[in-house]
């Protein structure tokens, strides 16, 4: 059977998969970023016991393979009486897991911020959350553009794991089509191209962030 | 605020870092409208003293008063202030830093309006009007929409001065404002500071600019090993100091700059 025709006949399957992957990716990207901003805010200030716990949590999360984390949420939690559908498990897994990575990127950016920035804010009466959200975070984000791009691509690729817990994403769509005809190459190549296109869009978006940073002299590229 | 109280009062200020005593009992009053220059060799503690005034460094002993109100410590004199109270006290002072510390993600105008709008609750329009007038004053009205990155050091420092003025502070603290500048850019910053002194702003200036200190200050203070060892009117300080150490310091300065 002709590969193109195979794809054409199953366009509806792919379009559902693409849609679900995009929803997973976009929602998780936004919320994991917000979560990371919030975590980085919690880490502001002197080292103390609660902050050590937060940092420990981040380390724990980053050391866990994503698939195991997903299994824990979806197959493990029902054992202790918490069950959820695939979408909830998928969102929670992607958002917390990549939130930890984003937080780590922000933490590094915070460390490399010149100490005079917070000092000047302090001297002008800024405290706590206003100092963080208005003075520090914008600079941390603008300085981390390329790293965000990298992490977003990882996030996109990790959405594919959700096909294992039966979420009908792009990878699941490809599996379904290849299982129907036992011809693996065309469907998989097709979804690779789709994943790649999403990546290109992400990079285009980040270039705009990069231009904002460049205009402010925050990156040296 | 108490109108008759000194704008800044420092009483028996002590500070140490990692066991090294940096300030060993500083006493200093700065009256309204005065310009006080603080001189001393590097490591003498003069910047630390300045940074204790607005609580960027928390003193280990002694008291600071801004306009008669205790800085950093609640009334009662024991408990440290909450961040909110500290913020309100700090907003009565302003600081200009050696390395400018402008916020790079904001435009020049936004740098000047940021604290008035978001700390002091001034309306956006009033803050903008005020900022435009201040930028005019420091000679940068054509740079509103520029980002700090694109400015020269002297321009950046003038924006930082406008940013400080926008707080309507009771006192402006200058921490070696010209030390990071190319020699040819020093003049434009000093000119702005001189005009502020003439306008009657209260200023405490840590500096190495001897000529400037002599021309502009009402009083010159010399710090050595964490203590004030000389405090005099500029003419007396520079020509006829009672302190042997000051005469030695000035002599060395003259021979190195001549």
* Angle between the N-to-C axes of helices A49-63 and A11-42, in degrees from 0 to 180, rounded to the nearest 10: 150
Radius of gyration of chain B (CA): 18
Cβ distance of A124 and B114 shorter than 8 Å: yes
A125 φ, ψ (degrees, to nearest 5): 90, 5
Spans of all domains in chain A: 2-215
Residue B90 has its nearest CB partner, among A116, A125, A217, at: A125
Residue B103 to chain A, least CA–CA distance (Å): 7
Backbone dihedral region for residue B204 (phi beyond 0: left; psi -120 to 50: alpha; all else: beta): beta
| CB-based contact B141:B173 (threshold 8 Å) | no
Angle, CA B119 vertex, CA B116 and CA B121 arms, to 5°: 65
Residue B119 has its nearest CB partner, among A114, A126, A217, at: A126
| CB-based contact B44:B21 (threshold 8 Å) | no
Residue A106 to chain B, least CA–CA distance (Å): 16
d(CA B103, CA A88): 40
| CB-based contact B163:B111 (threshold 8 Å) | yes
Contact list in A for residue B56 (CB cut-off 8 A) is 119, 122-123
What is chain B's pLDDT, residue by residue, as a tens digit (258 residues)? 566 789 999 999 999 998 899 999 999 999 999 999 999 988 899 999 999 999 999 999 999 999 999 998 988 778 899 989 999 999 999 999 999 999 999 999 999 999 999 999 999 999 999 999 999 999 999 999 999 999 999 999 999 999 999 999 999 999 999 999 998 899 999 999 999 999 999 999 999 989 899 999 999 999 999 999 999 999 999 998 889 999 999 988 776 654
- The residue of B54, B105, B166 whose CB has the most chain A CBs within 10 angstroms, and thus the best one to mutate to test that interface, is B105
Cβ distance of A124 and B167 shorter than 8 Å: yes
Residue B250 to chain A, least CA–CA distance (Å): 31
SS3 sequence of B22-69: EEEEEEEEECCCCEEEEECCCCCCHHHHHHHHCCCCCCCEEEEEECCE
Residue B88 to chain A, least CA–CA distance (Å): 6
Residue A71 to chain B, least CA–CA distance (Å): 42
A18 contacts chain B (CB < 8 A): no
A128 contacts chain B (CB < 8 A): yes
What's the fold here for domain A2-215? MetI-like fold (1.10.3720)
Q: How many CB atoms are located within 10 Å of the residue A126 CB?
A: 25
Q: Strand order in B61-66's β-sheet?
A: B20-30, B8-17, B61-66, B69-70
Contact list in B for residue A217 (CB cut-off 8 A) is 104, 147-150
Q: Which of B163, B193, B162 is nearest to B177 (CA)?
A: B193
* Angle between the N-to-C axes of helices B153-165 and B183-198, in degrees from 0 to 180, rounded to the nearest 10: 20
Contact list in A for residue B103 (CB cut-off 8 A) is 117, 120-121, 135, 139
Could you tell me which residues are beta bridge partners of residue B30? B8
What is chain A's pLDDT, residue by residue, as a tens digit (221 residues)? 588 888 888 889 999 999 999 999 999 999 999 999 999 999 998 889 999 999 999 999 999 999 999 999 999 998 998 888 999 999 999 999 999 999 999 999 999 999 999 999 999 999 889 999 999 999 999 999 889 999 999 999 999 999 999 899 999 999 998 888 888 898 999 999 999 999 999 999 999 888 889 989 887 65
Residue A119 has its nearest CB partner, among B56, B118, B163, at: B56
């Amino acid at each position: 059977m002709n590969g193109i025709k195979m794809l054409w006949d199953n366009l509806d399957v792919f379009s559902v998969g693409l849609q679900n992957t995009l929803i997973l990716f976009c929602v998780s990207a936004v919320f994991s970023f917000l979560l990371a901003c919030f975590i980085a805010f919690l880490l502001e200030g002197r080292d103390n016991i609660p902050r050590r716990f937060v940092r420990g949590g981040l380390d724990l999360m980053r050391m866990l393979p994503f698939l195991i984390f997903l299994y824990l949420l979806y197959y493990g939690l029902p054992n202790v009486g918490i069950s959820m559908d695939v979408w909830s498990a998928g969102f929670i897994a992607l958002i917390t897991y990549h939130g930890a990575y984003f937080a780590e990127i922000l933490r590094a950016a915070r460390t490399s911020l010149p100490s005079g920035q917070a000092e000047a804010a302090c001297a002008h009466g800024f405290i706590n959350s206003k100092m963080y959200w208005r003075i520090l975070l914008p600079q941390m984000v603008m300085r981390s553009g390329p790293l965000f791009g990298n992490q977003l691509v990882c996030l996109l690729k990790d959405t594919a794991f959700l096909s294992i817990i039966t979420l009908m994403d792009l990878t699941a769509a490809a599996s379904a089509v290849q299982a129907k005809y036992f011809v693996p190459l065309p469907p998989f190549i097709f979804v690779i191209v789709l994943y790649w296109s999403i990546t290109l869009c992400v990079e285009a978006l980040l270039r705009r962030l990069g231009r904002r940073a460049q205009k402010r002299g925050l990156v040296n590229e | 605020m108490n109108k008759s109280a000194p704008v800044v009062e420092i009483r028996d200020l002590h500070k140490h870092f990692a066991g090294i005593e940096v300030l060993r009992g500083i006493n200093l009053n700065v009256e309204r409208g005065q310009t006080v220059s603080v001189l001393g060799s590097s490591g003498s503690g003069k910047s630390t003293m300045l940074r204790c005034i607005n609580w960027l460094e928390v003193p280990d002993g002694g008291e600071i008063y801004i306009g008669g109100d205790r800085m950093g410590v609640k009334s009662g004199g024991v408990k440290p202030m909450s961040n909110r109270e500290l913020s309100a006290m700090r907003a009565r002072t302003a600081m200009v830093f050696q390395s400018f510390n402008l916020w790079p993600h904001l435009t020049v105008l936004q740098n000047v309006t940021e604290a008035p709008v978001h700390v002091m609750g001034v309306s956006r329009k009033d803050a903008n009007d005020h900022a435009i007038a201040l930028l005019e004053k420091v000679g940068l009205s054509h740079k509103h929409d520029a980002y700090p990155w694109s400015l020269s050091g002297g321009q950046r420092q003038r924006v930082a001065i406008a940013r400080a003025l926008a707080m309507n502070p009771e006192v402006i603290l200058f921490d070696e404002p010209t030390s990071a500048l190319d020699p040819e850019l020093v003049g434009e910053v000093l000119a702005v500071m001189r005009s502020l002194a003439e306008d009657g702003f209260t200023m405490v200036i840590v500096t190495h600019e001897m000529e400037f200190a002599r021309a502009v200050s009402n009083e010159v203070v010399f710090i050595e090993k964490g203590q004030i060892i000389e405090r005099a009117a500029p003419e007396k300080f520079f020509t006829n100091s009672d302190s042997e150490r000051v005469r030695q310091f000035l002599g060395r300065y003259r021979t190195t700059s001549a």
